[in-house]
Amino acid sequence: MITIPPGVRVLVATRPVDFRKGPHGLAALAAEVLGEDPFSGAVLVFRSKRADRIKLLVWDGSGLVLVCKQLHQGRFRWPPVMDGVMRLSAVAFAALFDGLDWSRVQATRPIPKPQAAA
């Protein structure tokens, strides 16, 4: 399991990419096609055509980090294929990365503070 710190943006490229690309190829793709800065610290998520593999790209301050995962059975639950980028919450990303249906996961909502009685 990979945990994302609070406040970090998770951006999903909704179109499949060529999985022969390495970190620099994916960074160029993020900048040119998606219009996102690969050196911003955001987690960039890429999918394969078969939907059974995922690549994460993130700048950690000293270099590009590339994480790859392939499911042994089944496929990742991906958003619909369309142009552009989709933003996910840390909770939805964790579900996606674990191979679960991320669209059925809800982030926890803060509990409202009680009001003083007047």
**pLDDT, tens only, 16-32:** 999 999 999 999 999 99
Q: What is the 3-state secondary structure (H, E, C) of 27-96?
A: HHHHHHCCCCCCCCCCEEEEECCCCCEEEEEEECCCCEEEEEEECCCCCCCCCCCCCCEEEECHHHHHHH
pTM over 0.85: no
Average pLDDT, the chain: 86
pLDDT band at 118 (very low <50, low <70, confident <90, very high): low
pLDDT digits (tens, 9 = 90+) for 92-108: 888 888 888 777 766 55
